Amino acid sequence: MIVLYLMIPISLALGIGFVGAFVWSVRNGQMDDTETPAHRILED
């Protein structure tokens, strides 16, 4: 089961990566507005 020592860190790394992306997106203001983006994509 030693492979778990490899897979759990990799899964965790992916998870932490996603947490990082999440924090970035909040800081960057990606979540400030949860209304207009849905409308914006409708115009090309």
Partner 1 sequence: MNETISRLEEVTYDDAIVRKFLLACMVFAGVAFAAGLLAALQLAFFPLNMELPWLTFGRLRPLHTNAAIFAFAGNAIFAGIYHSTQRLLKTRMYSDRLSAIHFWGWQLIIVAAAISLPLGFSQGKEYAELEWPIDIAITLIWVIFAVNFFGTLAIRREKHMYVALWFYIATIVTVAVLHIVNSIEIPWSYMNSYPVWAGVQDALVQWWYGHNAVAFFLTTPFLGLMYYYLPKAANRPVYSYRLSIIHFWGLVFIYIWAGPHHLLYTSLPEWAQTLGMIFSIMLWAPSWGGMINGLLTLRGAWHLLRTDPIIKFMVAALTFYGMATFEGPLLSIKSVSAIGHYTDWIVGHVHAGALGWNGFLSFAMIYYLVPKLWKTKLYSDRLANVHFWLGFLGIVLYYVSMVAAGITQGLMWKAIGPEGQLVYPDFVETVVRIVPLYWARALGGAFFLGGFMVMCYNVYRTIAASTEVSNETVRVRNTRYSSAGEGHRALEGMVTVFSVLSLIAILVGSVIEIYPTLSLHSYIAKTANIDPYSPLEIAGRDIYIREGCYVCHSQQIRPMVSEVLRYGSPSTMEESIYDHPFQWGSKRTGPDLARVGKKYPDLWHFRHMVDPRSVVEKSIMPSYSWLVKDKTDFLSLRKKVSVLRNLGVPYSPEQVAQADRLAEEQAKSVAQAIHDQGGPEGLERREIVALIAYLQALGQKEKQPRPTDQVTVKE
Q: By the criterion CB under 8 A, which residues form the site for partner 1?
A: 1-4, 6-7, 10-11, 13-15, 17-18, 21-22, 25, 29-31, 33-35, 37-42, 44
Give me the least distance between CB of 17 and partner 1, in Å please. Answer: 7
Q: Measured from the CB atom, is 10 or 27 closer to partner 1?
A: 10
DSSP letter for 1, please. Answer: -
Q: Which residues, 6+ apart, have CB-to-CB distance to 38 below 8 Å?
A: none
Shortest Cβ distance from residue 27 to partner 1 (Å)?
13
Return d(Cα 41, Cα 43) in angstroms, integer: 5
